[in-house]
Amino acid sequence: MRRGMVFGLLALVLVAAPACGSFDRYVRVAQPHDQPEAGEIGLMYVTYELMLGSAVPGIEIRYTCAPGPVAVDNGSGYRGVENRNGANRLGFRIAVEDLTDPSLWKGQPAAAYIDTMTVTLDVRAAARRLAAKRAGSSAPSAQLAEDEFDRTLRCAVDCILDNATRSAPPIRHLRLEIRGPQRFRSLSRVYAVKRPQQQ
């Protein structure tokens, strides 16, 4: 039985607002969460409340590596809120191409879309910390740390692609660039964004 549950973090983001004012929007963000009871990293959803002044394509992607709050009950009562986002805890960084200018969108205004958005996942600092940890740890401990790093990175890529499906305007292609160990170079490529049939 899973003892934790994803809980909504109220995050206030101020974006330059037009004359019509800003509006609140709840966004669902996929993140690679630690699941200590199962010893796994898995895709979980966190809800953020954002104050926006206009459409921000890919806003969900920007929060892939943000703190991921989970309300924890250890079986004997509420224990508190923990940051379970493994990407955040390892120090992954994400940069999303700014395509807020409507002149960069394709199609007619009523059916606008983003043809290709570039997203950079930078794990170089986390990789350096991992290398230092390996140098000062026993072989089994170092292997566990490397396995956690690898699983978190691959799950983070899944989360980025999942988050891209909820962009408004929609994104058709995502160019992902991973800055880090050579073994992940195959993940750096252009992906077709497959939106669910129903949003």
SS3 190: strand
Is residue 13 domain-resident?
Answer: yes
Is residue 199 domain-resident?
Answer: no
Is residue 183 domain-resident?
Answer: yes
pLDDT in tens, 80-96: 888 999 999 999 999 99
Q: How many domains does the chain have?
A: 1
Residues 11, 22: Cα–Cα separation, whole Å = 15
Range(s) of the domain holding residue 76: 4-192
Is residue 148 domain-resident?
Answer: yes
Instruction: Please say whether the beta carbons of 192 and 173 come within 8 A.
Output: yes
Predicted structure pTM score? 0.84
pLDDT in tens, 16-33: 333 345 567 889 999 999
Is residue 198 domain-resident?
Answer: no
Residues 84, 86: Cα–Cα separation, whole Å = 6
pLDDT in tens, 103-113: 999 999 899 99
Is residue 186 domain-resident?
Answer: yes
Percent of the chain with pLDDT over 70: 85
Is residue 197 domain-resident?
Answer: no
